[in-house]
């Protein structure tokens, strides 16, 4: 700020001195000499002012660059922390999915064995042990397979939402699941059509 105020004051003083010197000069050569000296001093002052402005801008640029580098380092550090947290969350989700799948499998086995036991007891009491029809067991098998794939679809969606898998992998996996679901639904429709009424 003082450099901007100093230059006009110095130039004004220089012009005042030049006009005084010109008035006192007695020949044209002396006037030319005074004008040359005034122009030289004005050029030196102007160059000094530009140098000061350049140095000030360079200092400001260095300061801003240091701030920017510091902020970049903080961003990189935060991104690393975020990646670690995402990995931990993905591990927790995978662990929960695996635990839930194990629980579901155990529950399925226990239900199936208890259902089979009840069925056997019922038919034993009636004295008519009857085997279930092959179509009925195939329909149950296909329905169970469909439910299992639907569970895998939900688990895959969850992994995509939490960014455990990328979009390309997600689309590839979901395409396979959708194809399998369509096949299962087609087979179920055929079996239901053939089902006796």
Chain centroid, CA 65 distance in Å: 25
Q: Average of pLDDT values for 156-173?
A: 88
Is 162 inside a domain boundary? yes
Q: What is the DSSP letter of 130?
A: -
Give the whole-angstrom CA distance, residue 150 versus residue 144: 10
Of all residues in the chain, the percent with pLDDT exceeding 90 is: 18
Is 76 inside a domain boundary? no
Residue with tokens 């920017």: 68
Query: What is the pLDDT, as a whole number, of residue 129?
Result: 43
Longest dimension (CA), the chain: 146
How many other C-beta atoms can be found within 10 angstroms of the C-beta atom of residue 18? 19
Give the whole-angstrom CA distance, residue 149 versus residue 174: 10
Is 138 inside a domain boundary? yes
Is 81 inside a domain boundary? no
Q: What is the DSSP letter of 27?
A: S
Is 155 inside a domain boundary? yes
Do 135 and 191 contact (CB within 8 A), yes or no? Answer: yes
Give the whole-angstrom CA distance, residue 180 versus residue 151: 13
Look at residues 35, 3, 1 and name the one whose alpha carbon lies nearest to residue 21.
35
pLDDT in tens, 173-194: 889 889 999 999 998 888 888 7
Is 54 inside a domain boundary? no
Asked whether the CA dihedral 106, 109, 110, 111 is positive or negative, the reply is positive
Give the whole-angstrom CA distance, residue 99 versus residue 78: 31
Is 70 inside a domain boundary? no
pLDDT in tens, 13-63: 766 776 776 666 667 776 677 677 777 777 887 788 888 889 989 999 999
Give the whole-angstrom CA distance, residue 60 versus residue 2: 17
What is the pTM for the complete model shown? 0.33
Question: Please, which residues have CB within 8 angstroms of residue 21's CB and are 6 or more apart in sequence?
Answer: 34
Question: Please, which residues have CB within 8 angstroms of residue 54's CB and are 6 or more apart in sequence?
Answer: none
Is 150 inside a domain boundary? yes
What's the total number of domains in the chain?
1
Query: What is the pLDDT, as a whole number, of residue 67?
Result: 94
pLDDT tier, 100 (very low <50, low <70, confident <90, very high otherwise): confident
pLDDT tier, 138 (very low <50, low <70, confident <90, very high otherwise): confident
Supply the range of the domain harboring residue 138: 131-197
Query: What is the pLDDT, as a whole number, of residue 39?
Result: 78
């Amino acid at each position: 700020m003082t450099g901007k105020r100093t230059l006009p004051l110095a130039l004004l003083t220089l012009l005042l001195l030049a006009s005084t010197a010109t008035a006192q000069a007695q020949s044209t050569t002396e006037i030319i000499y005074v004008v040359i000296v005034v122009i030289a001093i004005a050029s030196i002052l102007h160059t000094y002012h530009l140098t000061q402005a350049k140095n000030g801008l360079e200092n400001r640029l260095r300061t801003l660059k240091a701030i920017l580098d510091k902020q970049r380092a903080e961003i990189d550090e935060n991104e690393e922390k975020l990646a670690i947290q995402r990995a931990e969350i993905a591990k927790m989700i995978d662990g929960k999915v695996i635990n839930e799948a194990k629980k579901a499998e155990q529950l399925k086995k226990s239900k199936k064995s208890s259902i089979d036991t009840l069925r056997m007891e019922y038919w034993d009491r009636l004295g008519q042990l009857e085997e279930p029809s092959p179509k009925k067991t195939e329909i149950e098998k296909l329905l169970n397979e469909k439910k299992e794939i639907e569970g895998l679809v939900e688990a895959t969606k969850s992994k995509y939402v939490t960014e455990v898998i990328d979009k390309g992998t997600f689309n590839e996996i979901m395409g396979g699941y959708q194809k399998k679901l369509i096949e299962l639904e087609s087979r179920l429709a055929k079996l239901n059509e053939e089902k006796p009424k």
